[in-house]
Amino acid sequence: MSVELENTSHLHRANQAHVTTLDQHTYKVLAQHAKSFHLAGLFLPKKNLVDASLIYTFCRLVDDISDEEFSENPIEDLHNLEKELYNSDQARPLVQRLLTLSEEKSISKQVYLDLIYGCKKDIKGQNITTLNDLIEYCYEVAGTVGLMMAKILDVNSKEALKFAIDAGIALQLTNISRDVLEDIEKGRCYIPERWIQGAGYEMNEFYNKEIHEDLVISYTKQLLALADNYYKSSYNGLNKIPFKSRLGICIALKLYRKIGRKLLRKGANPLKGRTMLTGFEKILGILSGLKLFLSPKVLGLIPSRRHKEHLHIAIQHRIKAFNLN
């Protein structure tokens, strides 16, 4: 195992007798596949990092199944995963641990079902027709993760949970912006179909890369501007996170936002390849996260703004079950 919990200075202080094989596996998955989140996670308390690794590994499992490279029948496999959420005796160890954590932290199963539902859309090849469709999809595959993370950090304020959803949506919009080329090669498009048709193109022209590059750049700028709106909103909930966990989340948000900013500096053209941060840029991201952490609003020295309800118009029907109003 190339990445071990015992080999990290951050976790070495913990009682190693409580580090299980599953903990090691989930931490390894986080470290290998989510480098920015892993880096930010090193600034979380040990228990939060272990729980976050578990959450990420479950989400990664759902994502891997939906990518279809790891499953001959992804819809059936996701359906079986849904059944495991309701029958812990028959569930794999990862899901059993997740259900234990969910009971401990009062995480609704509906959050996991919404995540799976969003990934089923990918498998079925459902196009994103409108901007509202895009926001709903971003909620399903990432806003849900924001909710999961907030709950494991013991954030229970209804207003704060809305901001947690916004953080997830912002991260997903950043992902979509930088992964346009990769998604095209998978036969997927998350740019609203009406945007493309409004410019006089059809979806098959987009998939065949026959659409003018300047349009893709324009769409990417719009998506990143939208992501910025959700990032800014999410900052209003940071002071509701327990102080000991707050810095890690500030760093995670700033690192990911920095990816979008770099894409903009490069001309906002995702067709030229995936934008990634260098080691030095990650250091700057950590410092930016520290600056956010020390800001009066995040320290709770000045009041935060209330949540802007228009940001959730597209998902009101999806989050009713969580009674956030």
What's the pLDDT score for residue 177?
96
Which of 101, 126, 151 marks a domain boundary? 126
The verdict on 151 and 16 lying in the same domain is no
pTM: 0.91
41 close to 76: Cβ distance less than 8 angstroms: no
What's the pLDDT score for residue 325?
64
Here the tokens at position 285 are 């991201």
DSSP 278: -
Which of 97, 126, 155 marks a domain boundary? 126
The verdict on 102 and 175 lying in the same domain is no
Task: Name the burial class of residue 260, with classes exposed (0-12), middle (13-18) and buried (19+) by CB atoms within 10 angstroms of its CB.
Answer: buried
The verdict on 13 and 72 lying in the same domain is yes
The verdict on 63 and 185 lying in the same domain is no
148 close to 52: Cβ distance less than 8 angstroms: no
Domain that holds residue 291: 127-325
Domain with residue 319: its CATH number is: 1.10.600.10
The verdict on 233 and 179 lying in the same domain is yes
What's the pLDDT score for residue 147?
97
Here the tokens at position 26 are 């989930």
What's the pLDDT score for residue 285?
97
Q: Along the 325 residues of the chain, how does pLDDT read in single tens digits? A: 333 333 334 434 443 434 478 888 998 999 988 888 899 999 999 999 999 999 999 999 999 998 766 778 999 999 999 999 999 898 999 999 999 999 999 999 999 999 999 999 999 888 899 999 999 999 999 999 999 999 999 998 999 999 999 999 999 999 999 999 888 888 889 999 999 999 999 888 888 878 889 999 999 999 999 999 999 999 999 999 999 999 999 999 999 999 999 999 999 999 888 999 999 999 999 999 999 999 999 999 999 999 999 999 999 998 887 877 6
Total count of domains within the chain = 2
The verdict on 173 and 100 lying in the same domain is no
DSSP 143: I
Here the tokens at position 123 are 């498998």
Q: Output Rg (C-alpha) for the chain, integer angstroms.
A: 19
What's the pLDDT score for residue 145?
97
The verdict on 140 and 228 lying in the same domain is yes
What's the pLDDT score for residue 175?
96
How far is the CA of 30 from the CAs of 52, 54, 57, 116, 183, in angstroms? Answer: 9, 9, 7, 19, 22
What's the pLDDT score for residue 293?
98
DSSP 73: S
The verdict on 121 and 140 lying in the same domain is no
Which of 59, 92, 126 marks a domain boundary? 126
The verdict on 90 and 219 lying in the same domain is no
* Cβ partners under 8 Å of residue 219, min gap 6: 191, 195
246 close to 268: Cβ distance less than 8 angstroms: no
Q: CA–CA separation, 147 vs 314, rounded Å? A: 17
Residues in the chain: 325
What's the pLDDT score for residue 68?
66
* Cβ partners under 8 Å of residue 237, min gap 6: 150, 155, 157, 159, 160, 161, 162, 163, 164, 166, 167, 304
The verdict on 102 and 142 lying in the same domain is no
The verdict on 266 and 173 lying in the same domain is yes
The verdict on 324 and 286 lying in the same domain is yes
Cβ-based neighbour number of residue 3 at 10 Å? 14
